[in-house]
């Protein structure tokens, strides 16, 4: 039986970062399925650099608009790669409950064993997101078997306690891991992928409210944006908080400029910029609400 590991989490929570660490400790042939909400894939290329087999599904969500395509892809991945493990990173706006239902179908259940689904929770933004996105956000928390807090090294212990207390009100049984990922042991990473999950126990509530929130989120992708150096890229990312562009929650991508190739990641006003010598792409994706695509195009294109 093929083990399937799902790593969910909201936009910018740190799913790709956790997967990069996790796959190093998963023994045997593995394939990673990357689901991107935007038209262009970013995370797949980041993981592919580590020499893993990556299959991308872009421009949609595997829990809704691409559900039938995703079911077909699972079967195709099994036939084409014959893996021992499939690691799935759904888009950050995916409903974990709906994704889990896919693995309760006989044709997939006969070939795959689902391990405890992991949800990555951004400790910096958790309290804001739980308030702003309500049941849509709680769906990822409620249906997780393991909850891994990210960025805990950046907040005080009392804030971690507050987050854990809130999570426990939503999910009383999931294991919650909250220490810095850099000091996770091999055994701790191994424990994340070895416990079987029973899909039949999965449940979902507040379906209409969840779907309404998801439908309000948009993506805007740009292939071959204009050139940026570190300074101009930083200035551009600082401007993404302007209401003129809409409510931008997440942005990521690769750009070229006089400083060479750069990779950037933006989450709710915070961002990082890193040099990158291992890719030859030039593209970016922005996700948010009420996006002013005309204004963004003028800002980001030649």
CA dist., res. 61 & res. 92, Å (int): 9
CA dist., res. 278 & res. 25, Å (int): 23
Mean pLDDT of the chain: 87
Given a cut of 90, whether residue 296 has pLDDT beyond it is yes
| Extended strands (E) in 16-84 | 30-35, 53-57
pLDDT tens-digit readout, 204-243 = 555 555 565 666 889 999 988 888 999 999 999 999 999 8
Which position has the higher pLDDT, 81 or 42? Answer: 81
pLDDT (0 to 100) of residue 282: 87
pLDDT tens-digit readout, 237-271 = 999 999 899 999 999 999 988 878 899 999 999 99
pLDDT tier at 201, thresholds 50, 70, 90: low
Helices (H), the chain: 15-22, 43-48, 67-81, 96-102, 106-109, 126-142, 157-170, 186-191, 207-215, 230-239, 293-300
Domains along the sequence of the chain with CATH: 2-211 (3.40.50.300), 217-301 (3.30.1220.10)
Query: What is the per-residue DSSP string for 201-221?
Result: G-----HHHHHHHHHTEEEEE
pLDDT tens-digit readout, 122-133 = 999 999 999 999
**Could you give the 3-state DSSP secondary structure of residue 137?**
helix
How many alpha carbons lie under 13 Å from residue 250 in its C-beta half-sphere? 24
Q: Which of 75-89, 101-115, 134-148, 165-179 has the lowest mean pLDDT?
A: 101-115
CA angle centred on 253, ends 249 and 254, rounded to 5°? 155
**Is pTM beyond 0.85 here?**
yes
pLDDT tens-digit readout, 2-29 = 999 999 999 999 999 999 999 999 999 9
Given a cut of 60, whether residue 166 has pLDDT beyond it is yes
Strand partners, 82: none
CB of 188 closer than 8 Å to CB of 159? no
- Token readout for 127 is 């309290």
């Amino acid at each position: 039986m093929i083990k399937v590991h799902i790593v969910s989490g909201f936009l910018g929570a740190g799913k790709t970062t956790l997967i990069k660490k996790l796959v190093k400790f998963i023994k045997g042939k593995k394939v990673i399925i990357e689901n991107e909400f935007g038209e262009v894939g970013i995370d797949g290329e980041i993981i592919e650099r580590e020499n893993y087999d990556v299959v991308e599904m872009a421009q949609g969500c595997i829990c809704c608009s691409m559900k039938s395509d995703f079911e077909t892809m699972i079967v195709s991945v099994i036939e084409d790669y014959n893996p021992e493990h499939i690691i799935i990173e759904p888009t950050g706006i995916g409903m974990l409950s709906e994704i889990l239902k896919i693995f309760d179908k006989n044709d997939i259940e006969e070939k795959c064993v689902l391990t405890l689904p992991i949800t990555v929770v951004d400790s910096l933004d958790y309290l804001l997101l739980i308030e702003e996105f309500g049941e849509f956000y709680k769906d990822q928390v409620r249906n997780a078997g393991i909850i891994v807090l990210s960025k805990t090294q950046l907040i005080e212990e009392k804030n971690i306690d507050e987050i854990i207390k809130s999570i426990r009100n939503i999910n009383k049984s999931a294991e919650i891991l909250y220490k810095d990922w850099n000091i996770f042991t091999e055994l701790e990473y191994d424990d994340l992928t070895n416990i079987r999950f029973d899909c039949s126990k999965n449940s979902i509530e507040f379906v209409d409210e969840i779907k309404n929130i998801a439908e309000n989120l948009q993506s805007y992708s740009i292939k071959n944006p204009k050139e940026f150096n570190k300074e101009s890229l930083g200035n551009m990312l600082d401007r993404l908080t302007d209401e003129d562009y809409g409510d931008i929650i997440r942005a990521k991508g690769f750009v070229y400029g006089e400083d060479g190739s750069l990779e950037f990641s933006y989450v709710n006003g915070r961002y990082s910029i890193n040099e990158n010598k291992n890719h030859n792409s030039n593209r970016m994706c922005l996700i948010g609400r009420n996006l002013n695509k005309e204004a963004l195009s003028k800002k980001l294109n030649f």
